[in-house]
Amino acid sequence: MEASLITNPVSISGDEAIEKLTAQVSALEEANANLQLLDEVMRRNNAMFEAILTNSWQGITLTSPDRRILKVVHGLTGHNAPELQGVLIESLAVPEDREIILDAYRKLLRRVCAKIAIELRVPRVDGTIAWFSATVTDMLDNPNVQCIVWNYTDITREKDPGLSPVSY
Amino acid sequence: MVSIKEYLNRGDSQAALLDFLSYLIEKMGSSAVAVDQLEYAAFVADIDRIRESLTPGLGYDAAMVLAGAATQALETYNGSVTRLVHKQGREMQSIIKMMAETVVYVGGENTRSVRRLQEIGDEFERAGAITDLQALKGHLSECLRGFREEALRQKEQADILIAGLRKQIESASALAAETQEALDPATGLPGKEACLKTMQDPVAIGKRRYVVTMSVNRIQSINARFGHRAGDRILRFYGNFITHQLNPADKIFRWTGPAMVALIERSETLDRVRDQIRRIMEMRLDENLELEERAVLIPVSAAWSVFQLIAVTTAERQIQAFIASQGNREFV
């Protein structure tokens, strides 16, 4: 994709030059209008996705094959998402459940399966422990994603129905 | 000197004859040359046995038989010693010849060495004709002295040669380090400074110089996912691709980050050049990235722009503006 339109600076004098320049200005104006339209569409789409994700019960996190967090698209534990970038995802889980994550990555990278479902416990920012049911998907071969994608939901209440709403 | 026959004819006493024979046989044993210890011991034992057989009262005939046996034993032993000495001589010459050939080989094409060693080889040839052991030893000592001198001379020459080679290696290493500094370590392409310098070079008559700026897409994303080594590999891959697609005379540089700049000289107009570049840029590229446990196919592409070079400062600004506009498109 060519990203800029640069005028050929061969000097032309007279009406021909004015005509050419006018034509180029028109073309630039048209291109600029198209870009503005595209920008507006993208802005609206982004806002819409953000609104949908904010109200979603599902968390989404992207990691690299070496298990480092690339981006928390929508978090459920109360952590500041940008601060988690580069952190090993298993370090967020309780120590007893970390091996589950390591094993899931091993299986995905060896192509034993493309998607794996796991359950694990993760401490929230407030110190309580949450149970998550996660689907970890290998999307390394998708050129638009190229990472390991986590989709997860909080199942703490299902695991311990006796929890008070406050604890939950 | 009195012969045994005369001694017998004189009719001297038998005992004196036996003593004389015993003395002679003993001398035969003690005068023999000990070349091979085993054979010598066997010969001495034979002689001793014969001498011990010369008992008092032994008849003339029997004494003559024993004398004949002693002579026969001595002759046999002498023959064996002569063969052994010849054999040793041949072996010695063969060893020396082998040494001479080795030294000639080591001397390589050094004419002086070859001549000198040839002379020594000739000396060895002459040594083959010497039958006297002492003389042979002396001659061989001379030859070996010549060898030692030649070996020393060659060592000195080799030391001089090694010192020269070491100097050459040092200067070549310094030159290589200098060149290495000028090249971008990730892509092996010359850097931004070299690009700005080349922009100032005169353009061939009838041609215009165009600046092609390329920004490899998704490098930040690749670095985040697969590490900086993977990002560098993709940049190197793209640099090689562009190098092979453009003309050999075109020059490609690593600018900064994911950006590369090609300086190309063409006689065509900007529109024509842009079409040529577009055809190259629209090629679909993939690079297989080997991770620890599997491979991932990475699509490789670049955003690009082309403009005609008028002034270096303007060109630098245009390149920077283009790169800045691409930075906003990166996402993780």
Residue B159 lies in a domain: no
User: With an 8 Å Cβ cutoff, is B210 touching chain A?
Assistant: no
Q: Which of B60, B87, B114 is the last residue of a domain?
A: B87
| pLDDT-wise least confident of A30-39, A68-77, B7-16, B253-262 | B7-16
Total domains in the fold of chain B: 2
pTM, two decimal places = 0.57
| Alpha carbon distance B269, B307 (integer Å) | 10
Residue B127 lies in a domain: no
CATH 3.90.1200.10 fits A57-159, yes or no: no
Segments forming the whole domain that contains residue B311: 192-327
Residue B152 lies in a domain: no
Tell me the shortest Cα–Cα distance from B108 to chain A, in angstroms. 58
ipTM of the complex: 0.73
Nearest by CB to residue A64, choosing from B225, B305, B308, is: B225
B252 near B261, Cβ under 8 Å? Answer: yes
Per-residue pLDDT band for A65 (boundaries 50, 70, 90) equals very high
| Alpha carbon distance B318, B261 (integer Å) | 12
Nearest by CB to residue A2, choosing from B293, B298, B304, is: B304
One-letter-per-residue 3-state SS of A84-128: HCCCEHHHHCCHHHHHHHHHHHHHHHCCCCCEEEEEEEEECCCCC
Most A CBs within 10 Å, among B223, B225, B269, to test the A interface: B225
Q: Where are the domains of chain A?
A: 12-55, 57-159
Per-residue pLDDT band for A135 (boundaries 50, 70, 90) equals very high
Per-residue pLDDT band for A4 (boundaries 50, 70, 90) equals very low
Per-residue pLDDT band for B289 (boundaries 50, 70, 90) equals confident
| Alpha carbon distance A151, B289 (integer Å) | 26
Of B322 and B95, the one with more pLDDT: B322
DSSP string, B249-276: T-EEEE-STTEEEEEEEESS-HHHHHHH
Residue B42 lies in a domain: yes
Task: Please write the tens of the pLDDT for every residue from A80-107.
Answer: 999 999 999 999 999 999 999 999 999 9
Task: Please write the tens of the pLDDT for every residue from B96-132.
Answer: 667 666 666 655 556 666 677 677 767 766 766 665 6
Tell me the shortest Cα–Cα distance from B177 to chain A, in angstroms. 35
